C-alpha cells in the first residue's frame, strides 16, 4: 500500500494527522509518504525585503485571486512526473493543491483513494476568501477529487453531511484529531489567584488568525460582569493580524512566546482556565480543542450561536468545559461557576477514546474498508 498526500511535513495539526495515518496504515502493508510544504522563493518572499515590495504585493494578489494556494507551483513541479503504483492511497489536505493532480493520476491507474480534509475547501465553504478566478479553479479541481474518491475523512459532522449531499457515493468517517497519551499529565489544581485577589487569569495557546467567532463581545461582557477587578489574557503564540489589540480596552493582554506542550501542562496551574476560540463557520472545529483535553485546568470554548456548531457538539459529552456562544449575556457567571468548582483529576482527564492510539485504529480501518471494494 502506498500512502500519498499533500500534508505539510512540519508538526502542524494536519502534519501530525498525516503522520498518524502513516502509522495506522503500516499495520496493513508497505507505506510510502509523499508530499511537502515547499513554497517557491519568489512567492514566499525574501526576509531582506519589506512586505510592501512590488513582488510581494504581486505574489499576494496571485495567491488570493488565481492560485489554489501558495504551494500550487511547487506541487506541480514535484508531482507532474509522479507515476503512482499502489493498491490504495490517502490524500491529506491542507494544502489543497496536491489533491487534484494526485487524484487525476490515481484515477488514470484505477487506484482507489480516500481524502482526509480538516477544513472545508470551496464547495462546502460558506465564506471562501478568494477572487472569482480562484474560486472557479478551486471548484473545478475539488469536483474532480470527490467524483472519483472512494471515501472522505472529515473532522466534523457538518462537513461530512455537506459532502454526502453533494456526492452520495462517498463513504464518510467523522473523526477529529487525537492527543498524545504522554501529554495527558493531569494533576489536581494547585489553587488559583482569581477568587482571592479579584483577578481572572486566562490562557490561550496557539496562533490567532482567520475568521473567528465574535470573541470581542464575549470578552467585553466578561469584563462588564464586574465579577473581577482585573482580567488578563495570556496569549501563547503569534497574533498574526493583531486581532487581540481591540481587547485591551476591556482586559489586559500579555503576549508570551510559544512553549512546548509539556511546558504548557506543567505551567497551566498558573491560570484559572484555558480559552479555545472557535471558527465563525460552525462547520469547522479548532483542532487544538482535542489537545486542550490534556490540560489540568478547566477550559472555556467560545462558539457561534448556531445550534449545529461543531465545537459545541464535540464538547457536549466532555467534562471540565464551559461552552459560551458569542451571543451569550451570562458569560461572566458561566466562567465564574466553571473556575469555582473543585474539579477532580478524573473529571479533567482526557478520555482514552480521544487519544491518537484510538484514532489511528479508526482511520486505518476506514481506509481499508473504503478502498477494498474498489
DSSP 208: B
Q: Which helix (H) or strand (E) holds 76?
A: helix 72-79
Q: Could you check whether the bond before residue 30 is cis, i.e. omega within 30 degrees of 0?
A: no
pLDDT at 183: 60
pLDDT of 140-194, one tens digit each? Answer: 889 999 999 999 999 999 999 999 999 999 999 999 999 987 666 545 444 444 4
pLDDT at 64: 67
Do domains 13-178+355-372 and 181-352 share one topology? The answer is yes
pLDDT at 52: 53
pLDDT at 220: 95
Comparing CA positions, the residue from 13, 23, 74 lying closest to residue 364 is 23
Architecture of domain 13-178+355-372: 3-Layer(aba) Sandwich (3.40)
DSSP 236: E
Report the C-alpha dihedral over residues 110, 114, 119, 121, rounded to 10 degrees.
Answer: 20
**What is 181-352's CATH number, 3.30.365.10, 3.40.50.2000, 3.40.800.20, 3.40.190.10?**
3.40.50.2000
Angle between helices 97-108 and 72-79 (to 10 degrees): 30
Q: How many CB atoms lie within 10 A of CB 48?
A: 6
Mean pLDDT by groups of 10 residues along the chain of 374 residues? 44 79 87 65 46 58 70 75 88 85 91 90 81 84 93 94 95 93 55 62 92 94 94 93 92 92 93 96 92 96 93 95 92 95 93 93 94 74
Residues ≥6 apart with Cβ < 8 Å to 246: 216
Task: Give me the residue spans of the domains in the chain.
Answer: 13-178+355-372, 181-352
Q: In the sheet where 151-154 sits, what is the strand order?
A: 89-93, 113-117, 151-154, 171-174
pLDDT of 17-61, one tens digit each? Answer: 888 888 888 888 888 887 755 544 544 444 444 445 655 566 666
pLDDT at 39: 47
Amino acid at each position: 500500500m502506498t500512502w500519498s498526500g499533500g500534508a505539510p511535513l512540519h508538526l502542524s495539526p494536519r502534519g501530525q494527522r498525516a503522520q498518524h495515518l502513516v502509522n495506522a496504515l503500516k499495520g496493513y502493508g508497505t507505506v510510502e509518504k509523499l508530499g511537502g510544504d515547499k513554497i517557491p522563493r519568489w512567492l514566499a518572499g525574501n526576509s531582506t525585503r519589506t512586505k510592501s515590495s512590488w513582488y510581494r504585493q504581486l505574489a499576494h494578489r496571485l495567491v488570493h485571486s488565481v492560485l489554489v494556494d501558495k504551494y500550487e507551483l511547487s506541487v506541480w513541479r514535484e508531482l507532474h512526473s509522479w507515476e503512482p503504483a499502489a493498491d490504495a492511497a490517502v490524500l491529506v489536505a491542507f494544502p489543497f493543491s496536491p489533491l487534484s493532480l494526485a487524484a487525476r493520476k490515481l484515477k488514470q491507474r484505477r487506484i482507489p483513494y480516500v481524502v482526509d480534509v480538516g477544513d472545508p475547501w470551496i464547495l462546502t465553504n460558506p465564506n471562501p476568501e478568494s477572487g472569482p478566478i480562484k474560486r472557479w479553479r478551486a471548484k473545478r479541481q475539488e469536483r474532480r477529487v470527490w467524483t472519483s474518491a472512494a471515501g472522505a475523512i472529515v473532522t466534523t459532522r457538518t462537513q461530512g453531511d455537506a459532502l454526502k449531499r453533494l456526492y452520495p457515493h462517498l463513504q464518510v468517517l467523522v473523526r477529529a484529531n487525537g492527543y498524545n497519551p504522554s501529554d495527558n499529565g493531569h494533576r489536581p489544581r494547585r489553587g488559583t489567584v482569581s477568587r482571592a485577589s479579584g483577578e481572572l487569569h486566562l490562557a490561550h495557546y496557539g496562533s490567532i488568525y482567520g475568521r473567528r467567532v465574535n470573541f470581542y463581545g464575549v470578552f467585553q461582557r466578561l469584563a462588564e460582569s464586574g465579577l473581577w477587578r482585573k482580567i488578563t489574557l495570556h496569549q501563547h503564540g503569534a497574533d498574526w493580524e493583531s486581532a487581540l489589540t481591540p481587547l485591551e480596552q476591556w482586559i489586559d493582554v500579555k503576549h508570551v512566546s510559544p512553549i512546548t506542550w509539556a511546558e504548557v501542562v506543567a505551567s497551566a496551574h498558573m491560570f484559572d482556565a484555558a480559552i479555545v476560540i472557535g471558527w465563525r463557520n460552525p462547520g469547522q472545529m479548532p483542532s487544538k480543542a482535542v489537545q486542550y483535553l490534556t490540560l489540568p485546568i478547566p477550559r472555556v470554548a467560545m462558539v457561534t450561536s448556531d445550534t449545529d456548531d461543531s465545537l459545541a457538539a464535540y464538547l457536549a459529552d466532555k467534562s471540565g468545559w464551559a461552552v459560551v456562544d458569542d451571543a451569550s449575556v451570562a458569560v461572566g457567571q458561566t466562567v465564574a461557576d466553571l473556575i469555582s468548582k473543585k474539579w477532580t483529576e478524573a473529571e479533567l482527564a482526557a478520555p482514552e477514546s480521544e487519544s491518537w492510539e484510538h484514532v489511528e485504529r479508526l482511520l486505518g480501518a476506514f481506509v481499508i474498508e473504503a478502498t477494498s471494494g474498489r
